[in-house]
């Protein structure tokens, strides 16, 4: 996939999947830098598998109304080895969530590193052992849209919302900012500011084979 189409896909993932049911903001404990995802953040949707990457437990799914997205399969997806391209499946998953939106500083650099090392914890979901993984991206702000939770930056960190990573210097439209803390931080930003951002990966916790 080209950089252009990957960027378009990221915009679609960020905007389209937010319309699914059950989305809310992260509950956070700022002092401990721990992020918890409860079961009310879940989305439920039917789609077609059009790609699998077993080495990273990744699956690409095409939704009829939103196009193609990539997500990681959590340890709860115990039937991952049974999945095949072309299958129609019902997915129970979490979308991208903003975990940190802040002006770049040594403090926010350290905070971003700590968050990514810990990951986000699932609660209220029996059997979950692994944390939800996170990715980060930093760079100079080019556009801010507080009303819609929009943020675009010139990528300086070569962050990894997908594989392969976007190029340093590439303008990235980040997923929609949803959390109260993220929206508050967004209101303080302007073009030219240098920011750190941290996000959860899109993560499937259940995949039911329909046919």
2: tokens are 């080209």
Give the Å distances, CA to CA, from 153 to 70, 120, 137.
21, 24, 9
- pLDDT value at position 46? 95
Q: Quote the number of domains for the chain.
A: 1
DSSP string, 92-107: EEE---EEEEEE--HH
- pLDDT value at position 153? 96
- pLDDT value at position 184? 94
Q: How confident is the model at residue 26 (pLDDT cuts 50, 70, 90)?
A: very low
Omega before residue 8 within 30° of 0, cis: no
- pLDDT value at position 163? 62
Least confident stretch, 60-64, 103-107, 120-124, 157-161: 157-161
Q: How confident is the model at residue 10 (pLDDT cuts 50, 70, 90)?
A: very low
Provide the percentage of residues in the chain whose pLDDT is more than 70.
Answer: 74
Greater model confidence, 160 or 142: 142
Q: How many whole angstroms separate alpha carbon 33 and alpha carbon 39? A: 20
- Find out whether 202 and 95 touch, Cβ atoms under 8 Å: yes
Could you give the 3-state DSSP secondary structure of residue 85?
coil
| Predicted model pTM | 0.75
Q: How confident is the model at residue 102 (pLDDT cuts 50, 70, 90)?
A: very high
Kindly report the average pLDDT of the chain as a whole number: 80
- pLDDT value at position 31? 36
Of these ranges, 3-12, 18-27, 114-123, the one predicted with the greatest mean pLDDT is 114-123
Q: Give the residue among 170, 207, 191 at the shortest CA–CA distance from 162.
A: 170
Greater model confidence, 22 or 199: 199
Q: CA-CA-CA-CA torsion for 146, 152, 158, 163, nearest 10 degrees? A: 90
124: tokens are 């209220």
168: tokens are 């340093």
Mean per-residue pLDDT, 94-117: 92
Domain region containing 103: 3-209
């Amino acid at each position: 996939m080209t950089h252009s189409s990957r960027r378009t896909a990221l915009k679609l993932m960020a905007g389209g999947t937010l319309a699914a049911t059950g989305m809310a903001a992260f509950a956070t404990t700022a002092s401990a830098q721990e992020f918890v995802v409860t079961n009310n953040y879940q989305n439920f949707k039917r789609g077609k598998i059009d790609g699998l990457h077993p080495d990273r437990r990744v699956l690409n799914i095409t939704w009829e109304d939103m196009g193609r997205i990539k997500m990681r399969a959590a340890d709860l997806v115990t039937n991952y080895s049974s999945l095949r391209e072309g299958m129609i499946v019902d997915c129970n998953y979490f979308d991208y969530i903003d975990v940190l939106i802040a002006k770049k500083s040594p403090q926010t650099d350290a905070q971003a590193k700590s968050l990514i090392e810990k990951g986000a914890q699932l609660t209220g979901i029996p059997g979950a052992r692994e944390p939800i993984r996170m990715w980060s991206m930093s760079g100079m702000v080019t556009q801010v849209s507080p009303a819609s939770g929009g943020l675009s930056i010139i990528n300086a960190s070569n962050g990894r919302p997908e594989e392969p990573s976007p190029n340093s210097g590439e303008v990235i439209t980040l997923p929609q900012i949803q959390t109260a803390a993220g929206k508050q931080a967004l209101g303080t930003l302007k073009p030219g500011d240098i920011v750190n951002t941290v996000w959860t990966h899109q993560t499937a916790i259940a995949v039911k084979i329909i046919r």
